[in-house]
Amino acid sequence: MLDDPGLYGPRWPLPLRVGPVPGESTGSFVNRLAHANCLSLAAFLDRVGQGEASAYPERVEKYPQSTEMYMNEAGLRYLAVLADRAAGLLQQDLPSLSAEHLLPGLEGAQWRWRWEPVAGHLVRYCPLCADALGVGETVWLMSPDSWQVCLRHGYWSDDSRGRGPDFVQLAELPETVTAQRVRQQLAERWGPAGEELFADAFQVAVYWWTRMPDTVCWVRRAWTAGLDAREMRAAPLVIYPEAAELAVAMLDFECAGRRDTADRSRWLAGVEQLMAGWGVDVAEGRQAL
């Protein structure tokens, strides 16, 4: 039986436990915890004690892909009691509960629901990974990118709002899987510098796509994924392989320490050969390099 939280917050955990998925959004976890105990979001928040939730909890519950929950330190302690999990462990798994995202205010539990996360994107968790954990409903992750790739199961997911497929299976897009592995290798070997290098290459590829979305290889990938070739949602998926190849070419240039005009001209000629092989208009593509 649930106790009355009174003025000092809940004293006992909810009857049924739910384990957070690493990287999960707080809103996603709270909704799953409430549902596991046959509670609506509004009813769950009533049991937390003092605090300020959304004025429209039903709306928040209906659109977990669009909103994120933030709380202060007291709210975190209340949630830890209800979830039967140490506050520090919740902070490890739920990025929006990290110290830099806690709301100010030391007295009384406080909550805020934002229709756009403070940092990152709400991206669907791989359905097969969720099944392996025994999770029976959609899990939303906080991701620095608007997409995620599950290499274990070959799934692509993103922060789309109900347009097209929820997930893309990558069995027929092996080059996208390879690109994700290249990105991971850059990050593992070079740390933040590798991540920044890939980000630079990715932005160049985005520039190309915005000006040349009908490039044949990108259109084919979009169709294979069941996406509209000109929809912005398709861009990260279809340009991923070229972004990875460009990142490797940029790394070769940086590692060689070449800086004079002649060396850069030779490097640029090599990249232009890559562009021609991809079907990217060389004259247009050169402008982003």
- How many whole angstroms separate alpha carbon 285 and alpha carbon 282? 5
For residues 132-154, give the mean pLDDT.
92
CA-based nearest residue to 64, from 90, 9, 25:
25
Q: Which residue type, as a one-letter code, is found at position 119? A: A
Cβ(62)–Cβ(92) below 8 Å: no
pLDDT score at 257: 65
Q: Which two tokens stand for residue 78?
A: 């209340």
pLDDT score at 162: 67
pLDDT score at 210: 94
Residue pLDDT, tens place only, 206-234: 999 999 999 999 999 999 999 999 999 99
Instruction: Output the pTM of the full model.
Output: 0.86
For residues 52-62, give the mean pLDDT.
71
Nearest 10 degrees: Cα torsion 172, 175, 177, 180: -150
CA-based nearest residue to 96, from 123, 118, 64, 81:
118
Q: Which residue type, as a one-letter code, is found at position 32? A: R
Task: Report phi then psi at 230, rounded to 5.
Answer: -100, 0
Residue pLDDT, tens place only, 258-272: 666 777 888 888 888
Sequence-distant (≥ 6) Cβ neighbours of residue 15 within 8 angstroms? 2, 37
**E-strand stretches of 125-259:** 140-143, 147-150, 155-158, 167-169
